[in-house]
Chains A and B, each alone.
Chain A
């Protein structure tokens, strides 16, 4: 922001509201375009290379009122529309959700080490998923299979327990919440470990789920995850200014008109919901939720009104690209995405950290 643009406003002239934040608004626009481009790119690359022109023609032909005569084989259309596109979109959704949840938890807890899994979401989801893998029967409902259903329920259940343990009267002390989450997460983790070593030949599926994979992504999964993520996102973005004020201590935030306990509860619920929805089908993918918000903060600053939407877009672009690497680098074998996120992301993040050389970056 430049203060020269504010001064004339003080002299009685009007200034466009967003003028002093122009560069970050441009960044949001650029990333929006980039995420579209990355989806198209991820759709083009794979064991069957498809030219960009064909991708766009196939995609546009799906829109109503657009009349393009198909000049491509129907297998190409199937690969684009039924295999690669839902996969790229699910990866984008999950990346966006994890990065946003991470940024929200970091802001809420005022702690740079916070990530979406801090208060027991991941371990609860893992426990649910492992139980789902070990059950002798299958079940389907509301678009979920038994594994994602139990993973989703496990995540929410786990956070609900942590929340009720940490609550003191009408307030929710953040430190108690984190400690309760870490302790309960450790308990779930040890149960998961025990179940894994006794799981026999199902161990492969379990390990693959825990490290995360988009290999079985379908439109049906996108349809289930999308509403949770969109609703959670809208709620969190609505409270981004409150989250800024809550970067002061809770006392000052109250004195500036924030109903701290209410906002904490709403943000906690929304961030937990989008995290649970993100991990239930594709597994507990690590690293995205902690590193993307930090990278965004290092580049564009700590204002949550930009940090949150920029984290959404950066997280989406990042995870689509990482998934692309995961399915092409050792093709036809797929590498679990959790392995690739850190291999790709850590060097870039360390580079940012060195380049900015800011003593305190939170």
Chain B
């Protein structure tokens, strides 16, 4: 159980400011989504929260303690990260990569014990990656690698998990499985979860609260119903009138519509009509 507080966080690459005055907090058992357009600073925020890049202003507190004061080894036992498009060495086996999640729990001279192996194996079973545990990373698909990295963070057993686009490479069945798993862990083990997501529908369905970021500033913060509304979507993404209520649970859902004449039913029909007219398509249709 750990509480994350982010206070007036400012982030920059050199003189290029990418995030200003980010303030939010996440309680144990809560899943908070970071949403926003490409380049809005979501990934940078995740990097700062895991102390990979230092902030130029503001503080990040874990249970009131500034993360810049926590040694890396200790921090890795509290906080685990699922990076976006992780680079993994191709000759290691999937199992060896997941086993690396145990690293922060081992001393310099220590070897993984039976308990570490069991935790690793359990993490692989939960992410359905155990079936290819012995295969080398070079032989795996993007989605399988994504799940390996999620298994690794489970093996790490942190109290706070940061995920950067964990579903980007997954098909819908694995999206549901992985987000469901994280949601379950969050509720049952009171994990604190911060997740950066592109997919507004997944964010709406799975997150307790959302933080909508636009060009380095918080545009809106609150429950999915409060954040995902036509006005915000229009202001941040410039896309008009596409927010509906989910037919089953009533949560906001974003459905896109292509412009006129393309892929829509009426457009297709029009195309077929015009082709028929030119004699290109015979009676077969």
Of B51, B74, B77, B121, chain A has the most CB atoms within 10 Å of the CB of B121
Q: Are B138 and A257 in contact (CB under 8 A)?
A: no
Judged by a CB distance under 8 angstroms, whether A247 is at the interface is yes
Q: Which chain A residues border B138 with CB–CB below 8 Å?
A: 359-360
Judged by a CB distance under 8 angstroms, whether B101 is at the interface is yes
Judged by a CB distance under 8 angstroms, whether A238 is at the interface is yes
Q: Which chain B residues border A6 with CB–CB below 8 Å?
A: 117-118, 120-121
Identify A256's interface contact among B76, B95, B113, B133, CB under 8 A.
B76
* Interface hits, A308-325 → B, CB 8 Å: none
Within the complex, the shortest CB–CB distance from B121 to chain A, in Å, comes to 5
A72–B104 alpha-carbon span in the complex (Å): 58
Q: Which chain B residues border A361 with CB–CB below 8 Å?
A: 91
Judged by a CB distance under 8 angstroms, whether B156 is at the interface is yes
Give the contact stretch, choosing among A8-16, A57-65, A216-224, A335-343.
A8-16
Q: Which chain B residues border A251 with CB–CB below 8 Å?
A: 47, 52, 83
A1–B97 alpha-carbon span in the complex (Å): 14
Within the complex, the shortest CB–CB distance from B24 to chain A, in Å, comes to 21
- With A10-B122, A252-B83 known to touch, is A257 a contact of B114 (CB < 8 Å)? no
- With A241-B106, A257-B75 known to touch, is A10 a contact of B50 (CB < 8 Å)? no
Look across to chain A and name the residue whose beta carbon is closest to the beta carbon of B149: A252
A15–B87 alpha-carbon span in the complex (Å): 31
Q: Which chain A residues border B95 with CB–CB below 8 Å?
A: 1, 3
Judged by a CB distance under 8 angstroms, whether B216 is at the interface is no
Look across to chain B and name the residue whose beta carbon is closest to the beta carbon of A20: B117
Q: Are A303 and B121 in contact (CB under 8 A)?
A: no
Q: Which chain A residues border B111 with CB–CB below 8 Å?
A: 17-18, 305
A-B contact count (CB 8 A): 106
A255–B97 alpha-carbon span in the complex (Å): 14
Q: Are A249 and B87 in contact (CB under 8 A)?
A: yes
Look across to chain B and name the residue whose beta carbon is closest to the beta carbon of A110: B89
Q: Which chain B residues border A360 with CB–CB below 8 Å?
A: 90-91, 138
A259–B50 alpha-carbon span in the complex (Å): 13
Judged by a CB distance under 8 angstroms, whether B181 is at the interface is no
Q: Are B52 and A244 in contact (CB under 8 A)?
A: no
- With A9-B114, A20-B117, A249-B87 known to touch, is A255 a contact of B96 (CB < 8 Å)? no
Number of interface residues of A (CB under 8 A): 39
Judged by a CB distance under 8 angstroms, whether A302 is at the interface is yes
Judged by a CB distance under 8 angstroms, whether B245 is at the interface is no
Judged by a CB distance under 8 angstroms, whether B6 is at the interface is no
Within the complex, the shortest CB–CB distance from B224 to chain A, in Å, comes to 28
Q: 0/1 per residue, B72-96, Cβ < 8 Å to A? A: 1111110111010011111110011
Judged by a CB distance under 8 angstroms, whether A254 is at the interface is yes
Within the complex, the shortest CB–CB distance from B193 to chain A, in Å, comes to 15
Judged by a CB distance under 8 angstroms, whether B103 is at the interface is yes
Judged by a CB distance under 8 angstroms, whether A55 is at the interface is no
Within the complex, the shortest CB–CB distance from A304 to chain B, in Å, comes to 11
A15–B111 alpha-carbon span in the complex (Å): 13
Q: Which chain B residues border A305 with CB–CB below 8 Å?
A: 111
Judged by a CB distance under 8 angstroms, whether A331 is at the interface is no
Q: Are A254 and B72 in contact (CB under 8 A)?
A: yes
Judged by a CB distance under 8 angstroms, whether A297 is at the interface is yes
Of B91, B106, B130, chain A has the most CB atoms within 10 Å of the CB of B91
A1–B112 alpha-carbon span in the complex (Å): 13
Judged by a CB distance under 8 angstroms, whether B108 is at the interface is yes
Judged by a CB distance under 8 angstroms, whether A248 is at the interface is yes
Q: Which chain A residues border B76 with CB–CB below 8 Å?
A: 255-257
Look across to chain A and name the residue whose beta carbon is closest to the beta carbon of B75: A257
Within the complex, the shortest CB–CB distance from A7 to chain B, in Å, comes to 7
Look across to chain A and name the residue whose beta carbon is closest to the beta carbon of B104: A257
Q: Are B81 and A255 in contact (CB under 8 A)?
A: yes
Q: Which chain B residues border A242 with CB–CB below 8 Å?
A: 103
Q: Which chain A residues border B104 with CB–CB below 8 Å?
A: 256-257
Within the complex, the shortest CB–CB distance from A278 to chain B, in Å, comes to 25
Q: 0/1 per residue, B231-243, Cβ < 8 Å to A? A: 0000000000000
Q: Which chain B residues border A241 with CB–CB below 8 Å?
A: 103, 106
Q: Are A255 and B80 in contact (CB under 8 A)?
A: yes
A20–B108 alpha-carbon span in the complex (Å): 20
A14–B118 alpha-carbon span in the complex (Å): 10
Of A14, A255, A301, A305, chain B has the most CB atoms within 10 Å of the CB of A255
Judged by a CB distance under 8 angstroms, whether A245 is at the interface is yes
Residues of chain A having any CB pair with chain B under 8 Å:
1, 3, 6-7, 9-10, 14-15, 17-18, 20, 110, 238-239, 241-242, 244-245, 247-249, 251-252, 254-259, 297, 301-303, 305, 358-362
A17-B113, A248-B86, A362-B91 given; 12 more Cβ-contact pairs under 8 Å: A1-B95, A9-B118, A17-B114, A247-B89, A247-B92, A248-B88, A255-B83, A257-B77, A302-B92, A303-B92, A360-B138, A362-B90
Q: List 15 A-B contacts (CB under 8 A).
A: A3-B133, A6-B118, A9-B118, A17-B112, A17-B114, A249-B87, A251-B83, A252-B81, A254-B50, A254-B51, A256-B104, A256-B156, A257-B72, A258-B103, A302-B92
